[in-house]
Amino acid sequence: MKLSIAFTLYLFSFLSYAGGDHFPVFIKSIDISDNKFSFVAEPNVVKREWMDAECKSIKVSGTYDRLKWLRYSAPMSQDSHKKALEALLLAKNSGSLIYFGYIGAGLIKEANCNYKSKGLMYENTMVYSIYHSI
């Protein structure tokens, strides 16, 4: 119990230090192949617009960088990445809303409404993208 409280406090302090944000989205499509992934999400503008207000949908693609995240056990790990992908797939299949965002510079914008990621993290029913080291 004490460990889980300590970890939760650590996570909240980490999020506030690193910066980041999350947004309510609907997952319209998702493709998972080995360590590569991509998905298209539609922001729920009734609750909150995406960070780039002109985006009616966004595409996030990436490759889980096993070497980059190898030394991490928390909050970034291969297990957390798999849970994030499962949560996105479940949201797509059920048509339910999920919160998706980034930590630090977790999404690298390639072109209008297209982003790159190096891994996903699942925390408190939310999915966060991470690109640079934590």
* Structure-block tokens of residue 105: 């510079």
Residue 4 inside a domain? The answer is no
Pairing relation of β-strands 97-103 and 20-33? Answer: antiparallel
Q: Across residues 73-92, what is the average pLDDT?
A: 89
Task: Domain count for the chain, please give it.
Answer: 1
Q: What is the pLDDT of residue 59?
A: 97
* pLDDT of 13 above 70: no
Measured between alpha carbons, how far is 9 from 13 in angstroms, rounded to an integer? 6
For 31, phi then psi, to 5°, come to -130, 125
Measured between alpha carbons, how far is 80 from 129 in angstroms, rounded to an integer? 11
Residue 48 inside a domain? The answer is yes
For 112, phi then psi, to 5°, come to -55, 115
Q: Give residue 100's Cα distance to chain centre.
A: 5
Residue 2 inside a domain? The answer is no
20 vs 116, which has greater pLDDT? 116
Kindly provide the b/e burial profile for residues 122-133, where b requires at least 16 CB atoms within 10 angstroms of the residue's own CB.
bbeebbbbbbee
Residue 15 inside a domain? The answer is no
pLDDT digits (tens, 9 = 90+) for 41-50: 999 877 777 7
Residue 51 inside a domain? The answer is yes
Least confident of 52-66, 67-81, 105-119: 67-81
pLDDT digits (tens, 9 = 90+) for 23-36: 999 999 999 998 89
Q: What is the pLDDT of residue 20?
A: 81
* pLDDT of 11 above 80: no
Cβ(89)–Cβ(30) below 8 Å: yes
Residue 5 inside a domain? The answer is no
3-class DSSP assignment, residue 7: helix
* pLDDT of 73 above 80: no
